């Protein structure tokens, strides 16, 4: 059994999702978001991301972090901000001794919806189905669970 933390980084909202995998069986553990306060200086918000992910790791004790890559086609300023946020999240995982893996948005969508250009709502729906959830998680939390599932598929664990 392995516990995987999926992270969908963002400077405003960072989604996280945790699953257990055991020989191809996926089990939902938790999901949610780390929101940062846009009123605060950017350095403060990066620290909120670090501390939010740190807390999630300490509560749920995953051993692997799967982190979605930044989609480069977005505008360069946004990509740069996202790079900062992603760096903060990755360091939080590393500081807790997790093994960190990167997945492209396309690979993540492919893994859960069978199509690299799937819409957000398709991803949300498929997460509900694949993990047998009673409701649909928020888009950011669903994306994070999708990254975790992408890792599980990749390694057939």
The DSSP 8-state label assigned to residue 137 in this structure reads P
- Compute the distance between CA of residue 19 and CA of residue 27 in angstroms, rounded to an integer: 5
Q: Is 99 helix (H, G, I), strand (E, B) or coil?
A: strand
The contact pattern for a second copy, residues 6-35, with x = CB under 8 A and - = no contact, is ------------------------------
Q: What angle do CA 86, 1, 105 make, to 5 degrees?
A: 30
Candidates 32-40, 41-49, 130-138, 149-157; binding stretch for a second copy (CB under 8 A): 41-49
104 lines the binding site for a second copy (CB under 8 A): no
Nearest-5° Cα angle at 68, 114 to 79:
120
Gap between the Cα atoms of 125 and 69, Å rounded: 22
Is 87 a residue that touches a second copy (CB under 8 A)? yes
The CB-of-74 to a second copy minimum distance in angstroms stands at 10
CB nearer to a second copy: pick between 46 and 123: 46
Q: What is the binding site for a second copy (CB under 8 A)? A: 41-44, 46-47, 50, 67, 70, 72, 76-77, 79-88, 90-95, 100, 102
């Amino acid at each position: 059994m392995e516990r995987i933390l999926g992270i969908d980084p963002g400077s405003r909202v960072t989604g996280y999702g945790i699953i257990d995998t055991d020989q191809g069986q996926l089990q939902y553990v938790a999901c949610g978001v780390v929101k940062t306060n846009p009123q605060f200086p950017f350095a403060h918000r990066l620290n909120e991301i670090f501390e939010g992910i740190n807390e999630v790791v300490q509560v749920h004790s995953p051993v692997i972090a799967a982190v979605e890559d930044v989609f480069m086609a977005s505008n360069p300023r946004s990509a740069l901000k996202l790079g900062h946020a992603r760096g903060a999240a990755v360091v939080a995982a590393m500081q807790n001794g997790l093994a960190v893996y990167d997945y492209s948005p396309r690979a993540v969508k492919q893994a859960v919806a069978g199509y690299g250009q799937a819409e957000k709502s398709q991803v949300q729906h498929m997460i509900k189905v694949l993990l047998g959830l009673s409701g649909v998680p928020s888009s950011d939390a669903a994306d994070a669970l999708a990254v975790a599932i992408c890792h599980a598929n990749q390694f057939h664990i």
